[in-house]
Structure 1
Amino acid sequence: MKLVRYGAIGAEKPGMLDAEGTLRDLSAHVSDIAGDALSDVGLAKLRAIDPATLPAVAGSPRIGACVGNIGKFMCIGLNYSDHAAETGAEIPKHPILFFKANSAVVGPNDDVSMPRGSTNTDWEVELGVVIGTKAKYVSKENALDHVAGYCVINDVSERHFQTQLTGQWTKGKSCDTFGPTGPWLVTRDEVADPQNLAMSLDVNGKRMQTGNTSTMIFTVAEIIEHLSGLMTLHPGDVITTGTPPGVGMGMKPKPVYLKKGDVMELTIEGLGQQRQTVTEDA
């Protein structure tokens, strides 16, 4: 299934894409794409619905983040061997974890607004993983059983805030609008292998990132095993799993960063596309 949230910011409704790509309204069956609706039982109930019986949504509504009421937004850094190489970083021995504030989450096609004082705002296409079943001390062998589905995430990053303002990476990762998520939550039964998905990101029509989840240092299953050994993962928690090479910070001979009016376009195989225009905070 491809599950969607659509409508005005803060008033999104749950939806589903049918086989022809028509958006159908799920409001009569579930209040949101969140919480218990993401469990195996909850998804089975939605899967049993004949999409043809659902009202078609008219027009072209705004698409919101594909998960509502996100609990934790966890991010894995330097998780692609080729990205680590471009930044000159050592391969980590364990998954590098930081958090992105939930207030950064926006829809996949909403504007990305650079904060005041930003000079080094960067792009990062990433595979998002949405937890559907509570996970604590799970092994990598059954870790994927706890996944509701997958999505596209742009882990937008202000590199000066991230690396030069004393403290953690979170400072450069949590600015408002820095977490475009969606367009769809694609349930795990439709993703045969999360470790073999092509991904790309363009800026103003120029290809900047080309990669594949096969070059992850830590697999999705290994990440879930590691995180669930540190804290309980709950339905609706989101994990974004790192980015392939081609970020602005790694450009040679000097870094290239976003400016007002730039357009980012992201895609991950089978998970849909995002498109954001860069603006500036007033």
Structure 2
Amino acid sequence: MGQFILPAPKTPSVAIYNSAARFAVRRIFCVGRNYAEHAREMGHDADREPPFFFSKPADAVIGDGATLPFPMQTENLHHEAELVVAIGVGGVEIPAKSALDHIWGYATGNDLTRRDMQAAAKDMRRPWDMAKGFDHSAPCGALHPVADIGHLMRGRITAHVDGELRQTGDIADMIWPVADVIGHLSHLVTLAAGDLIYTGTPAGVGQIKRGQSCTVAITGLSSVTTTFSRQQ
């Protein structure tokens, strides 16, 4: 292979709990409407819908404790507390019964959303990639290896903004559990080591204003806090 014309981009990565090593990120996939109450608050009946997916750029990932400029082109930034699954073994058309064998670890995440931009795109029947895939739109806490904690089947998930509880639920309430999510997604694309999957959010999504901080927590995992400056 010849030399690159420009310097190769830095590989995005996520911290690993209690380790100096890091997890290199290949792609980021997100599941929409995977909690019934959230689907209903967004005006849908997800009980009858198969899972659907959207993507964020790998370099949208940002770690715990970041202070960020407020995102451009929005006045209605929303938090979405999510369980993040890190793929360690790739595959295609993975059966749900063996899907958990492909997981390297779990983390807390925040699927930040420019809700006003998303609503406008939906009204015009346009893609809403820029509502989801903007700079630093994928906060992710430290990954906890399956080898250390096992598989998470349940656990309280919360989001606080400036200390106020906004979202609360349990990851056991997913419409499509993690194994099914991996199975469905691997029938659409080939998964590979380094892929992250944000698995959906419970009800209570809401606005983060300039100058505020948002903390997402899941029982048994490290939390992730993101603070937004008052300036863009």
| TM class by smaller structure | 0.7 to 0.9
SS at 1:272's partner residue? coil
Match of 1:258 in 2: 208
Q: Would you say 1:269 and 2:219 are equivalent positions?
A: yes
Q: Would you say 1:101 and 2:60 are equivalent positions?
A: no
Give 1:228's match in structure 2, choosing from 181, 186, 189. 186
Runs of 4+ in 1 over 6 A off after TM superposition: 9-15
Q: Would you say 1:278 and 2:228 are equivalent positions?
A: yes
Contact preservation (8 Å) 2:14, 2:63? no
Tell me, in whole angstroms, the C-alpha distance in 2 between the residues paired with 1:206 and 1:278. 16
Contact preservation (8 Å) 1:76, 1:95? yes
- What's the TM-score, normalizing by structure 1? 0.72
Q: CA deviation at 1:278?
A: 1.3
Match of 1:181 in 2: 140
More relative contact order, 1 or 2 (CA 8 Å, 6+ apart): 2
Match of 2:130 in 1: 171
Distance 1:232 1:157, change over 3 A: same
Tell me, in whole angstroms, the C-alpha distance in 1 between the residues paired with 2:196 and 2:12. 20
Contact preservation (8 Å) 1:194, 1:220? no
Q: CA deviation at 1:119?
A: 1.1
Two-structure CA RMSD over aligned residues (Å)? 2.2
Q: Would you say 1:81 and 2:36 are equivalent positions?
A: yes
Question: 1 or 2, which has the higher strand percentage?
Answer: 2
Q: Would you say 1:159 and 2:115 are equivalent positions?
A: yes
Tell me, in whole angstroms, the C-alpha distance in 2 between the residues paired with 1:96 and 1:81. 14
Match of 2:174 in 1: 216
Q: Deviations over 1:42-76 (max 9, x none)?
A: xxxxxxxxxxxxxxxxxxxxxxxxx32x2110000
* Count of matched residue pairs: 219
Q: Deviations over 1:107-155 (max 9, x none)?
A: 1211243323311100011000000001111111000000001111110
Contact preservation (8 Å) 2:14, 2:61? no
Match of 1:150 in 2: 106
Counterpart AA for 1:179: A
Match of 1:207 in 2: 165
- What's the TM-score, normalizing by structure 2? 0.86
Distance 1:10 1:280, change over 3 A: farther
Counterpart AA for 1:259: K
Tell me, in whole angstroms, the C-alpha distance in 1 between the residues paired with 2:128 and 2:12. 31
Match of 1:126 in 2: 82
Q: CA deviation at 1:96?
A: 1.4
Q: Percent identity?
A: 32
Higher Cα Rg, which structure: 1
Match of 1:38 in 2: none
Give 1:90's match in structure 2, choosing from 41, 45, 60. 45
Contact preservation (8 Å) 1:98, 1:169? no
